[in-house]
């Protein structure tokens, strides 16, 4: 569980960075390759860390879409030229805040 906690902290750090990068909103994200690169990198790292969390922990917190995170990581890593930034923005707006709540809950409970 100690390793799980480190990965959860790492995921939370990525979420915080993403939040810092997109403070100026959708338009800045859509037009700035620097912001896109920073966000995509942190999404990749976040998703990679989520795959390293133990099966026991993932089972205990099954409300998190662990499989979806892994799939999204594969899209980001292996299809960089085909990244849908509109989809990424929707994930940033809707999924990342929910994930942050779940990760914080996990850290508090473990």
Provide the annotated active-site residues. Answer: 73, 78
The encoded tokens of residue 44 equal: 């990749």
Burial of 62 (0-12, 13-18, 19+ CB in 10 A): exposed
Tokens coding 84:
């849908």
């Amino acid at each position: 569980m100690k390793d799980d906690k480190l990965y959860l902290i790492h995921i939370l750090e990525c979420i915080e960075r993403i939040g810092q990068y997109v403070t100026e909103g959708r338009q800045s994200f859509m037009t700035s390759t620097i912001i896109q690169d920073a966000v995509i990198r942190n999404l990749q790292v976040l998703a990679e860390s989520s795959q390293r969390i133990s099966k026991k922990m993932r089972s205990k917190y099954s409300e998190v879409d662990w499989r979806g995170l892994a799939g999204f990581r594969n899209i980001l890593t292996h299809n960089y030229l085909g990244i849908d930034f509109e989809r990424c923005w929707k994930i940033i707006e809707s999924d990342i805040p929910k994930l942050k709540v779940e990760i914080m809950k996990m850290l508090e409970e473990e």
